Amino acid sequence: MIHFRRANISDADQLISWRNDPETRSASIDSSPVTLDTHQRWMQASLSNPDRQIFIAEIDQHPIGTVRLDRRGGDWELSWTVAPDSRGKGLGRQMVKMATTLVSGTLVARVKESNEVSHRIAKFSGFVPTKNEDGVVTYVLNHSTSRD
């Protein structure tokens, strides 16, 4: 059973490790490595940003990935990363499907054209592709929930 908890500053090392993993970088829209200093500044700013929500996905208190929701006007942009040791088990699909219930309204996901796994995850979670621009496919999911 996957459980989400809010990320905190003590998660910074884990998150940068996942972010700089070669497979994660190759699937990311921005594939450049992130320095520890840059990541720590980003993390501090992110945790105090009311328009950003970062969650750690866990099973039995073992971190398996992260989801992030960024408010963009009236929409939310959803992004996710599955921990390297948790890939290939269908956990990304479960994480993203669960994440779509965390906010109401329109959710957007941007997926690198070559990232077949994330395309499958987005479609499984109900997202519909709306455009393909500069090698990035934009997916949209319109729904309402009781949370915001």
Residue 59: CATH number of its domain: 3.40.630.30
Domain annotation covers residue 148: no
Dihedral sign for Cα 143, 111, 85, 70, please: negative
- Return d(Cα 11, Cα 43) in angstroms, integer: 9
Q: Give the whole-number percent of the chain exceeding pLDDT 90.
A: 94
Q: Is residue 19's pLDDT more than 80?
A: yes
Domain annotation covers residue 25: yes
Q: Give yes or no for a contact between 140 and 108, defined as CB atoms under 8 angstroms apart.
A: yes
Count of domains observed in the chain:
1
| Better-predicted residue by pLDDT, 37 or 146 | 37
Q: Which domain holds residue 72?
A: 2-143
Q: Is residue 144's pLDDT more than 70?
A: no
Nearest to 91 by CA among 113, 58, 60, 119: 58
Mean pLDDT, the chain, rounded, equals: 94
- Determine the distance from the C-alpha atom of residue 81 to the mean position of all C-alpha atoms in its chain, rounded to a whole number: 5
Question: What pTM was estimated for this model as a whole?
Answer: 0.92
